[in-house]
Amino acid sequence: MNLRSKIKSLLNQALEENPSLFLIDLKISLENNIKVVLDGDDEVSLSDCIKISRVIEHNLDREVEGFSLEVTSAGVGEPLFNRRQYLKNIGRKLKVEIPTGNSFQGTLVESRDKDFTIKWKQRELKPVGKGKITVEKMKTFSYKEITKAKVVV
């Protein structure tokens, strides 16, 4: 079993013990620098990161593997990767980028299995007469059709 498989197995065990946490990213460099990025349905505490770190560290032999380990939580400004991240951020403002280079910014109002919806207010010309009015817009995006979505802080 290679190092990545061992770590994935250990992570799966640790995350089963704390089902509110989930894996966002696992990177292992050629020099065996291991970086684990976690998120949670509520929050990820320092003690959560320590527990996951200990599970990995205590089950790998540094003499054999020669590794360094960093376990961290996903930052607020990091892109969203997992549907569970969208669910926990309902009601927060998102910036959504699509492949054409356009971006949309609005409040996340709904997250479903294949897509999510944001809403925002926008000033537009009145249909009749001079001046502008404020209208509420909504747009639904498929998770597959976006380039990136980030919570706006």
CATH, residue 146: 2.30.30.100
pTM over 0.75: yes
> Where residue 89 falls among pLDDT bands split at 50, 70, 90?
very high
69 shares a domain with 18: yes
Residue 65 belongs to what domain range? 3-73
Residue 134 lies in a domain: yes
Residue 2: band (very low, low, confident or very high) from pLDDT cuts 50, 70, 90: confident
Q: Tell whether the model's pLDDT for residue 127 goes beyond 70.
A: yes
38, two tokens: 């976690």
**Mean pLDDT for the chain overall:** 93
The count of domains in the chain is 2
d(C-alpha 15, C-alpha 116), whole Å: 26
Is position 78 within any domain? no
User: d(Cα 38, Cα 74) in Å, to the nearest integer?
Assistant: 6
Which domain CATH number covers 59? 3.30.300.20
Domain endpoint, select from 51, 73, 95: 73
Tens digit of each residue's pLDDT (9 = 90 or more) over 16-54: 999 999 999 999 999 999 999 999 998 899 999 999 999
Last residue of a domain, one of 16, 38, 73: 73
HSE-CB of 91 using CA atoms within 13 angstroms: 1
Cα–Cα distance between 51 and 106 in angstroms, integer?
Answer: 36
